[in-house]
A and B are shown apart, each in its own frame.
Chain A
Amino acid sequence: MPGREAARPAATALPPKIRVRGLDLFYGAKQALHAVALDIAEKKVTAFIGPSGCGKSTLLRCFNRMNDLVDGVRIRGEVLLGGQDIHAPNLDVIELRKRVGMVFQKSNPFPKSIYENVAYGLRVAGVSQKAALDGVVEKSLRGAALWDEVKDRLHESALGLSGGQQQRLCIARAVAVEPDVILMDEPCSALDPIATAKVEELIHELKKQFTIVIVTHNMQQAARCSDQTAFFYLGKLIEYAETRTIFMNPANAQTEAYVSGRFG
């Protein structure tokens, strides 16, 4: 039973980037997360899998306190980011969100130019020198493997990009503010296989610099991209281990049934 002791994959060299203990979350009267406890390793890709409605997105959105926007949410338990309690009363949510970036399931570029999309995070943080912005925009777009495709149309609307390009633009946008952690909620669910492959490649690159948490319904994707995998069911963390272990040799019968496609 997952309780107050941490579920933790066997060998993590570094101290955990995110540490979750006894996390309960209620939407009004409905409990969406039950005593979740897990550690997320730095500069690794951690995948969250589980059937629809099991609370993956909810947990992910706890990490950058996006759930604050939902009316009637109550949270119990603690979430530490680099040792710091993100629910501490003196914590600045804006600073937190700069450290924890997010890529959404539906790509959501702003109705602005490509350049302005990437520069947005810096602009709202008060950076306005053109030289600094130019540098960051180029670096981020290169980092998101988008530079070559858009370098001639930086000042055209981002809405003219294809779906896959838009999603990579959203990744570039998140990368531009240099967060520690990037949260991705089903980033490829609206993309075709080629665009998906590109994003997966990108995730490989990004993990050299960032800690990545990714929610996915695609078992192959979890197997291909992630180092650790957590399986959720009905708001509970069922099993959390090295991805290889989860897919080859799961300890829990439900996990095995899910990853082998027999339920869910």
Chain B
Amino acid sequence: MHRPTLTQPTQSASRIAQLFRRGDHWLWLCGGALGLTVLLITGLLLLVVANGFTYFWPYKITAVDRADGTKLMGVVTATQPAVKETPAQTQLRVGNRELNNFDFIWVPTVQLTNFHQPPDAVQIERQENGDFIGFLQRVEVKGQTVASGDAAWTKLHELQPGARALAAQAKAIQRDGIGAVNARMQRAKLRLRSAQLKAPTGAAIDPLLKASVETEVAALQSDYDKLRAVSGELVARSIEAQAVLRTIDGQEKTIPLASIVRAFRPNTMSLVEKFGHYLSRAADFVTGEPRESNTEGGVFPAIFGTVMMTLIMSVVVTPFGVIAAFYLREYAKQGLIVRLVRIAINNLAGVPSIVFGVFGLGFFVYFVGGGIDQVFFPERLPAPTFGTGGILWASLTLALLTVPVVIVATEESIAAVPRGAREGSLALGASKFQTIFNIVLPASVPGILTGVILAMARGAGEVAPLMITGVVKLAPELPLDGSYPFFHLDRKFMHLGFHIYDVGFQSPNIEAAKPMVFTTTLLLISIVVFLNLFAIGLRDRIRRKYQTGAF
């Protein structure tokens, strides 16, 4: 008889063998990979958060003497240790772009002496030309000095709100009042042109119509002139009050109070004041309009465009994807063709997004949009209405891009609906359609929403296809506003993703724009997270409602 004997391998060999037998090495590998991924994501978020969150903080202003006798004053933004021949350097944000031609300056640290922080150093956030850093001399109204020395600082804060209010009023008249008059004038002219187009060739158009349009245009023209006069006067009044400032090297600079967004003395601000300043700037960033070719001011139009585009996309992609998935799974005869269609759908998700952009441009913008213009807006041609990029076409392009995600998710969730539920409904005499509509669809809503969430996350972050289907650097009007017909789906729009690209890589003043890139990125991430959380919350509520049986 043969008895199996237990061989005694060396201790370590047996241990390794045991390790492999138990699969511990796989466990370690999987754990390690997961850990690395988490680390990378955390690192990414930390980088963005750390850079994005500090953008609004009022850092202290430092004045220094240079070796050549000149003086510099600004915020120390970076230092660089000596590398081989290059000596250690210090970067200062000195502002005063219109005087210096630069905001930032690198200086070898050895040349700098006498670092100090003058308590009365003033930093001024302006409508134009970036920040001013210097000292306040006096405040003038209509050329007369009304306050100087310490009183000037108080006076500045006293007069500034009034001046800004006047400027804002002037701006409102220019944008809303004059804008509306312009739009009406445009419409009157279009009426004439459309009558011209409809009239048989050669025939003169109705003189009555022509006369009425002409009187209307004349009336509007006089309205326009009046509004111009009013706004011009407001502007003139708003710039009556001015602050006279001095830079560290003695140049004088006059700034109208109306173009001062904020004036502050970071060297004497308490922590509470700094927080207040921080919050007020953050609020302006989220709710304000961009200034200075997007490198200053807020990003509200971009937030608005991003959210609205994502929502339009979701509204379009959801029914399309769901209907397609139901057809594929429930009605189409399963066979070679359906298999091919499925493969095509899955591959569609991997097509580079710019390809979708090109398709959107060719199909939606030129073909569909051009067709709409021919039929509905012939009087405006050759100026396109829908035949150019706009939020609708961008949203549709993204819907096309994300529809595979929704189809796949929906198909999966349909397949996961328990057979019992379906059979229970059919056995009660429900038709196939009734069963799908009453039982299968509600039960697959959580899965469908998962697909929509993924689609939204993908769509909100996509930039390339938008660049050729309707995103612009600066859109004068939002795609949703108070003027008829409220939804202006033909309008071009701004988008945070494109904004990041534009500010970071296309702006003339890249150094100044850098922190804004991170802040905008942080905002984009937050918005995507927020939209997702909203959809996840919705899904969980529905899931709780439709949880399937105890068995």
Contact = CB atoms under 8 A, between A and B. Distances in A.
Interface of A: 64, 66, 69, 94-95, 97-98, 101-102, 104, 106-111, 120-121, 124-125, 157, 159, 161-163, 166, 170, 173-174, 177, 190
B423 A97 contact: no
B424 A110 contact: yes
Contact of A111 (B423, B443, B551): B443
A124 B428 contact: yes
A185 to B, nearest CB: 10
B429 A107 contact: no
Interface residues of B, number: 24
B118 interface: no
A102 B427 contact: yes
B424 A124 contact: no
B429 A108 contact: no
A177 B443 contact: no
B399 to A, nearest CB: 30
A124 B434 contact: yes
List of 8 A-B pairs having minimum Cβ-Cβ separation, nearest first: A108-B420, A98-B429, A121-B428, A102-B427, A124-B430, A108-B424, A111-B546, A97-B429
A177 B429 contact: yes
B232 interface: no
9 contacts: A69-B426, A94-B430, A104-B427, A106-B551, A108-B418, A110-B438, A120-B428, A120-B430, A166-B550
B194 interface: no
A97 B426 contact: yes
A140 to B, nearest CB: 12
Interface in B97-112: none
B547 interface: yes
Contacts of B418: 108
Interface string B535-547: 0000000000111
A161 B550 CA distance: 8
Nearest to B426: A97
A53 B434 CA distance: 32
A107 B443 CA distance: 17
Nearest to B551: A106
B431 interface: yes
A66 B429 CA distance: 11
Interface in B413-470: 418, 420-421, 423-431, 434, 438-439, 442-443
Contact of A97 (B427, B442, B546): B427
B382 interface: no
A104 B550 contact: no
B548 interface: yes
B549 interface: yes
Contacts of A121: 428-430
B425 A94 contact: no
Nearest to B548: A111
Contacts of B427: 64, 66, 97, 101-102, 104, 174
Contacts of A120: 425, 428, 430, 438
Nearest to A101: B427
A203 B442 CA distance: 32
Given A111-B545, A159-B549, A95 B429 contact: yes
B423 A177 contact: no
Contacts of B428: 97-98, 101, 120-121, 124, 173-174, 177
